[in-house]
Each structure stands twice: as C-alpha cells, then as structure tokens.
A = this chain, B = another copy of it.
Amino acid sequence: MLQFNFSNLMQDGIGGNGLMKDDFKRIDGNALNTAIQSGKSPELEFLDLPGADTSAIKEMGRYAGKFDNFILLGIGGSALGPRSVLEALSPFHNIKSKPKVFIYDNVDPMTLHCIMDAVDLKKTVINVITKSGSTAETIASFMILWQKLKEQSLKPADHIIITTDPVKGNLRKIAVDYGVRALPIPPGVGGRYSVLSAVGLLLAEAVGIPSGDMLKGAVDIHNKCIGRDLWQSPAFLFASGVFLMQQMKKRDITVMIPYADRLKPFSEWFCQLWAESLGKDGKGLTPYPSTGTTDQHSQLQLWMQGPEDKVVVFLSVEDYGADVQIPAVFRDMEGLSYLSGHSLAELIKVEQEASEIALAKNGRPSITIRAPKIDAYHLGQLYHFFEIATAATGLLTGINPFNQPGVEEGKNLTYGMMGKKGYEAKKEEFVKYRQRKGKLEL
C-alpha cells in the first residue's frame, strides 16, 4: 500500500512557512466526502472504473497482443495514460518485448514517417482513441493509416481497434458501418480520468501487464481515501494541503518528482490531469514535471532558492526490482572510494531523502509518497489517488475539474483554416492576424 507523509507541510516539519493543524479547520472533510460519494456529478464516473467488468478489454488485448507492432493514435489523456502504464511496467519495452509499441500523439509528419519506416503494417494493430470521435490530430492520423492499410490491400477491420464513446461520434459510426472492433469509454469519464478504462488497459493487456492488479490497487486506495475523516484520508489531506498552501502561502506550483526513470511519463500524466483540471477562471495550480535524481541537477536549485511558490511532491520507491553494487575500485582515490560498498538503490533513496531534508531545512514544503514497488497494483493506486485528489482540489478551489473550455478557441481557429463547415469567420480572423503580424520581427 502507498504511504503518505505530510509532515513537511506543517510548521513542525519546516518552521514558519508550514501550516498549523488549526488551518485545516477551513476544510470541511464531510462536505468533500459527500460531494464525491453522492455521485451527483456525472463526471465522477471515473470512480466506478476499478469495479467495472473488463472481460471485453482482456479479450481484445489477447487479439492485439498477437501482432508484432501496436500503434496507438491518441492525444492528451488518450496517450499520456497508456504511455505511462507501458513505461512504468515494461521498461525498455521495445528493446525487450512484443508487440513493439509506437504512440503517435502529435501531427508531426517526421514522427509518422519514422513509425511507418519501422513497422510492417501486415503485422500491426492500430488502436485509435478519441472519446468524442472528432479530435483533429487523432482523426488525421487515423485517416492516413486507414488509407495505408487499403493501399496494401489489408482489411482495416482486421488491424484497427477503436476506443471511443459507446454510442456517439464519428468513430463509433465507423465501427458500426465497417465492422471494426471497438471498446467503449464510459460517457462520464473524461480523457484525463480515463487511464483505468479501455484507454489505458487495452495496451496493458496487449503487452502482458495484469490490468486486474491495477484495478485492485485502485479499489484499495479508494477505500483508504473515501468515506474517512479528513485526517485519515490521504487524498483529502493532499488536496487540503496544496489548497491551503495556495490560499495562505501563495504557493501555486505543484512539482511532481518520482525517483525512477520509469515514472517520468507518469509525471507527465499527472501534469495534464492537474493543469487541465485546475487551471481556469483565472485561477489554478501549475504543475511541473520532474524526475529524480536527474532533475536535482536541473530544477533543485530553483526549488531551494527560487521564489517561494512551490510545493514539491516526492514519489519515492522502496524496491526497484533490480539493484547494482558499486564495486571497490579506485581505492586510493577518496573522491570515489566512499561510494564503494553501497548500491545504486541505496544511493537513489538517500538522494531523495536528502533533497527532502534540504528543502525542509530551508522552509520549503513537500509531501512524500512512498511506493513499496513499481508494479501494476501500486501504479493503479497512484492513478486513482491523484484522480481523487484532483477532483477534491477542484471542489476546494471552486473550480470545475472536469471541463476544459479554454481550448475551444484554438480548435475553432484550426477548424477555420482546415476548411471545416461553419468556421469560415475563424478563417478570416486567422488570415487577418497573419497580415497584422510581423511588426516586431527580427
């Protein structure tokens, strides 16, 4: 089970910059419980994912797992979720295992060119993921791959798996019209809350990751967080801590630093969840993705001595699943020999704690989450924990954590330039902007 330590948010841990127990009286733990348990908001459907029937996903996973290559088309949560599952639980996947996985979450033509070079479409399954069925980036790459299959006289229905809304949208229509395999994303589950649906679990099953363990982990963390007193719920305490640090101490940047290379994409998954959920109405918490120890040599300076605007979330690991001893070489050189007899796991864990201490001594707050190991069970806990904590933070800050109205304008302008019907005015606006620009061009 994940362990959560909040000591370094408190005055006990970091001195005057910290919070006091009394500060938490501003938080109504019962209201949080009620809001989340009532299930009134349809977007809370992500809470039901751990208990859902996944037999269809498993069956589809067996089908997809027989191919040599697995191309995933999706963007935002549709890519960040699956990628973070894959890299955490199958490190160096494409060097060691099959099917090889290529996640295309952009419209960069060079990347698609390289993927096409690397795979034989005959031996490739393509999972296209967009809940709405109309995400321009995903649809563009889907159309290209559909055509490429046809050009090679391959049947799209044999090579494509669609993950989309159970009823609505272009992709659902295509699934029906062309007899293409399809998995549903529950209607209330938004992209950034979807990793424990078919979005993240199909890829997991296809490469042999036990998705059931992820869901079991999610159930267990759910029970550790919900229906409990504020001081007994790690998710509500996390939400309350960052909320109070923002309200009372003006700390509005949340740094996520897992100490494991395999969790770097998890950091990025968290950043989308946090940024898109909580950044609106002129307010919001800005996430900052990081990886330890690596980014101690990139960002730690800023956290230690930069502006007092951050709360650092350490994610430490007990068992790395491997270890390497540092041998007794160069015994005559003091600058090296002190490391002999220690191991890499020991070093990385000491560095994590050293950073935590150094920050605390400097009055800089942090939260530490300890994972016994990086496996499906604990990764499932991490996802579900942060989804609950994000929803709770939205409730506390009065921000709706489930929508993203701010991205519409950019989409509409793109539609205009791409000639989508009804967006002619946006095209005009775009063209005018181009003419106006260039005043301060060097």
Which A-B residue pairs are the 10 nearest by beta carbons? A279-B302, A76-B297, A279-B306, A304-B406, A284-B306, A272-B298, A354-B413, A305-B406, A147-B327, A92-B114
A52 at the binding interface (Cβ < 8 Å): no
For A419, give the chain B residue with the smallest CB separation: B338
Known: A279-B307, A301-B405. 17 other contacts (CB 8 A): A5-B441, A7-B439, A91-B111, A91-B114, A95-B117, A106-B348, A112-B322, A140-B347, A233-B442, A279-B302, A286-B309, A300-B406, A301-B404, A304-B407, A334-B420, A342-B418, A347-B418
* A176 and B111 alpha carbons, distance in the complex (Å): 44
For A370, give the chain B residue with the smallest CB separation: B441
A3-B441, A5-B438, A409-B358 known; A271 and B284 CB under 8 Å?
A: no
Contacts of A329 in B (CB 8 A): 143, 146-147, 150
Count A interface residues, CB 8 Å. Answer: 153
Within 8 A of B (CB), among A321-372: 321-327, 329-330, 333-336, 338-340, 342-345, 347-348, 350-351, 353-355, 357-358, 360-362
A393 at the binding interface (Cβ < 8 Å): no
A63 at the binding interface (Cβ < 8 Å): no
Contacts of A9 in B (CB 8 A): 440
Residue-by-residue, is A233-251 near B (CB-CB < 8 Å gives 1, otherwise 0)?
1100100000000000000
A291 at the binding interface (Cβ < 8 Å): yes
| Closest-CB distance, A93 to chain B (whole angstroms) | 10
* A339 and B296 alpha carbons, distance in the complex (Å): 44
CB-based contact B110/A362 at 8 Å: no
CB-based contact B357/A430 at 8 Å: yes
Contacts of A268 in B (CB 8 A): 298
Contact of A297 among B260, B272, B283 (CB under 8 A): B272
Within 8 A of B (CB), among A103-134: 105-115, 117-118, 133-134
CB-based contact B110/A261 at 8 Å: yes
Residue-by-residue, is A296-318 near B (CB-CB < 8 Å gives 1, otherwise 0)?
11111111111111100000000
| Closest-CB distance, A106 to chain B (whole angstroms) | 5
* A187 and B96 alpha carbons, distance in the complex (Å): 41
